[in-house]
Amino acid sequence: MSMGLLFPVALAALAALLLPLVIHIARKSEQLPTDFAALRWLRSRPKPRSRLRFDEWPLLLLRLALLALAALWLAQPVLFGAGNDRPYVAVVPGAQIDIKALGEARIHWLAPDFPGIDQVVPTGPLPIASLIRQLDAELPAKTPLTIITPTILDGADADRLHLSRKMTWRITGSATASADKATPPLILSIRHDADHRAALRYISAAALAWQPAKRDSELDSKTTDAPLPHKGHVLVCLAGGTMLDSVVDWVRQGGTAVVASDARLPADQPMIPVWRDAEGQPLAEAMSLGRGRLIRFTRPLMPSQMPVLLDADFPEQLRTLVSPVLAPTRVAAADYAPLPGGRAYDQPPQPLRSPLAILIALLLLAERWIATRRCRSIAP
């Protein structure tokens, strides 16, 4: 461990140490002169040399210590290398553990803020890889780290982890880090004008294929003047000309919309082809708009222009087009064990201002007690 100062220029306040020294030197005990008539006939004797004298050493030392500690407090002292080296165990929710077998180690859930193992088991998707990196960065280099994980991890990154330390990767049980969640169904909402009514049949057929339990009359298919759907739906807006401001705002706030080939886009920026036919010609292109995604067909929705509309797998191809692109996060724990060789992180220093403030308060009380005693002479 070593000590350092975050603001060493504040040590200039040590010049204030001269103040109590001056006060104690200048302080003189109260003296009342008494005249004796006969003394005037005596021969005057040379005055003795004056000596530098400090009265009340305990009080002087207390005041000097107070000023020195105050200057040190302003300089913000910190302690490097004072982290807790006790073994640390991080448990991925879903893993099977035996707390007694872990001895005196610190045991925490591998979840945001690293709650203690005695707290409620964290739920929901967890960024396991990011949390492991955070632990590696915050724990002292000599702290033994153990991670207990189930056989399947949910929340992994694309890259395998490289940590700055060797650690114990323990796989227990067959429980998964999170329960399998069914992919939420995509719900298609259609808004159309009179000029694109003929194209409505192909989009409606795809929507019915996604939700076979529904009938054609139950589809969310309305004209363009109808209210827009929830942002969790996929909006297909079959209308030409300039896009409605309401649709543009809907996409900017995080929605996904598919528009006709003759729709004029609100932003002049290049679009990326996201769907091609068998000959490699683009059928649809996409762009980001605010927090949402805007997709535009490159051809009119007619079999003569887009033969793919008559293919049996057209509903599945349209579903793939509008589905969000998600990176894979599930991985076998045995294949995701972190490797050593990662970058070492500088450990944050431990601040010492709080204990210094307590010490200053105690010394101030002692100084006031000595300075206000009744047995003292005139206080400096």
285 pLDDT exceeds 90? yes
CB-CB contact of 110 with 33 (8 Å): no
Q: Which of 73, 72, 67 is nearest to 17 (CA)?
A: 67
**pLDDT tens-digit profile of 154-188?**
777 767 788 888 889 998 865 444 444 445 567 88
Q: How far is residue 153's CA from residue 287's CA, in Å, rounded to a whole number?
A: 33
Average pLDDT of the residues in 140-164: 84
Q: How far is residue 326's CA from residue 344's CA, in Å, rounded to a whole number?
A: 31
Average pLDDT of the residues in 101-105: 85
Average pLDDT of the residues in 49-78: 80
Instruction: Compare 22 and 34 and report the one with higher pLDDT.
Output: 22
pLDDT of residue 83: 66
Instruction: Compare 167 and 344 and report the one with higher pLDDT.
Output: 167
Q: Where are the beta strands (DSSP E) in the chain?
A: 2-5, 77-80, 88-91, 106-109, 145-149, 152-154, 162-163, 168-171, 188-192, 220-223, 234-238, 241-242, 256-259, 263-264, 272-276, 282-289, 292-297, 330-332, 339-340, 350-351
**pLDDT tens-digit profile of 2-27?**
778 888 888 888 888 888 777 777 76
pLDDT of residue 191: 92
pLDDT of residue 162: 87
pLDDT of residue 358: 92
What's the whole-model pTM score? 0.45
Q: Sort residue 24 into left (φ over 0), alpha (ψ -120 to 50) or beta.
A: alpha
Cα 130-134-138 angle, rounded to 5 deg: 175
pLDDT of residue 256: 92
288 pLDDT exceeds 60? yes
